[in-house]
Chains A and B, each alone.
Chain A
């Protein structure tokens, strides 16, 4: 009794030390997550998790997932070392919990989330409106929880995208022109209209700003060209004058 108990005690202590001192999480092998989605459209994202019991080396924990997608279905595919699927439960709420145990022989978990892109609550130009596609965390019985991975995506409507594009174009035009006060002000109004969901106005104002900037740039280019032409003419005139002067002051031979 003495030696064997001693051994397991020591082992347990060791395990505890290792677990308490350990930092890190389950690693993401592969993630197929969209960057953006149109409001009301279907969206699917997949994450593959591996090294489920390395750091921290819990033998049992709970996989939690949360999403802002609507009409959502989570599919959790549990695969063992050999590649055999052990289980594939589905969950239909925005959040789910799935127990993970080393005894099940699980090596890889593939999490797929499918749903409808939620509507936009607040239009913001910058940062662009986004929603959470999936957030996965590792939870322990005691209450500790560690984040595994989190994926957000930008959502838009036809109108908001049009307006955003118009504003982006206007911004680019202003930058190309090297800045323009009037155009900037108009652009700010466009952004303000956008953020108030007044997309028609936003587009109109953005286009106005773009035109102003483009005109300014064209004028700038024209002026630069004129200056160049004048410069060339001046140089030519100086050269001609120098030649004429030199020829005139050069006297003919008297002999």
Chain B
């Protein structure tokens, strides 16, 4: 039986190749690549599946994930029957090939909240897209008068991989979080060696990522009312969970590769809620960046954007003829008759 296909167009980084494969496997999609840069020799150990033009021609609908003009929002997009669908993700720096972009049926984009960090890691973006496409689009993005009041506090329970943690931090900044608590028991982020630090910060795009990271130790107790712990293991479905509870709610994303699912997290909040990402497949490796990006994207969708004012925001001047009230000078009016009686 044919499965929908995730297509990497001109991917340069072999680590991203593996991560894309895991993202596709998470949602039971197959994964293939188009090599535009002649980097096959660099991918020897990644062993990707090479695609030809005929493979793409048979895919309908053929979708592209790209911040192109006229792209539709991923939130609420319904693709219909996905059994023959193809989703193209592009080169990390240059995006999808322009000739290929003209051949796609629809271009999709994930709405970003930040202007400085306006892209996700390619595998993280692919995972978010596959999550929404597999669910029939989910709902459109919420609109609120003050969306920042609905944004939960972010707590990342990191593991042993600094690149995964860095990509998760990049996703958090891109989707609107300005601060995050980070538990780093393995010491891959705070107080690490120079190479680890450099790679992690590079994955997080720290040069233009202004998110404030607060180190938190593993024994700390938090004063939150509710903690929503997101994983792929257990809990209520992510699509049915409310993740816009405001500053009293903590969105906790755990690195399942290095943390025990049964870890006691009652110290995080008065009330604990487990949330599961509905993913039918089983990847070779559970990647923190994929789980985190999907959870953050859903939380960002529920937090929403500010209600646009539109034409009602512009008010032409109005001029009143109203009762003129002089300054209050105190005292009291007394009539002549009252004065005579006094």
Genuine A/B complex: no
Spell out A's residues near B (CB within 8 Å). none
